[in-house]
Structure 1
């Protein structure tokens, strides 16, 4: 056997070691993929019921929120109507405003008198 034969044997054995290392790496990657697949299936199996429960909860919460939204809109409409009626009354009737002011003043005076009578007694 000459130097070429020895080089050939060394090259062949090197290729054999490289092939064994590559096959080991491929087997390890295959096992890793199988484990990842099993983990993903377990996570999916556990989260599916949770997602369904969250969907049900959100659906149940949205019902009262829609009702609350309708109530809020109705209150807003009523307050707008009251505001427009009040501003119309104040704008159109200056005398009504004067009478209301006089009534408030009279009520305050009546309270002051009743307090004075209680103190006198």
Structure 2
């Protein structure tokens, strides 16, 4: 079991063009998007930026993006849902929506900045 205090210190950072991505900026991208899967994915990212992690999981589950499952695993870990974490951390993942949207995701602790990847998500219990 992971210490809840350490989970609180784990931050999920969304970046585009090396600047932090805010909910308003994601909303603007969302308004111009036509693809339904990308809309659901972006809505999930918007909720992540607002720190509404369980709501983000719901929207990411609606998306057919291949990298949504890795993001769901990360969010499940963040909220302490180890059952959901185990379910999604073992799925095959390819970066498609993140790459298509040109967004970078990092995990940040007090001492480290960890790039978002399924390998790093699987190592989270050891890293934290």
Task: Give TM-score scaled by structure 2 length.
Answer: 0.18
In terms of fraction of residues, the more helix-rich structure is: 1
Structure ranking higher on relative contact order (CA contacts 8 Å, 6+ apart): 2
Q: Which structure: larger Rg?
A: 1
Task: Give TM-score scaled by structure 1 length.
Answer: 0.19
In terms of fraction of residues, the more strand-rich structure is: 2
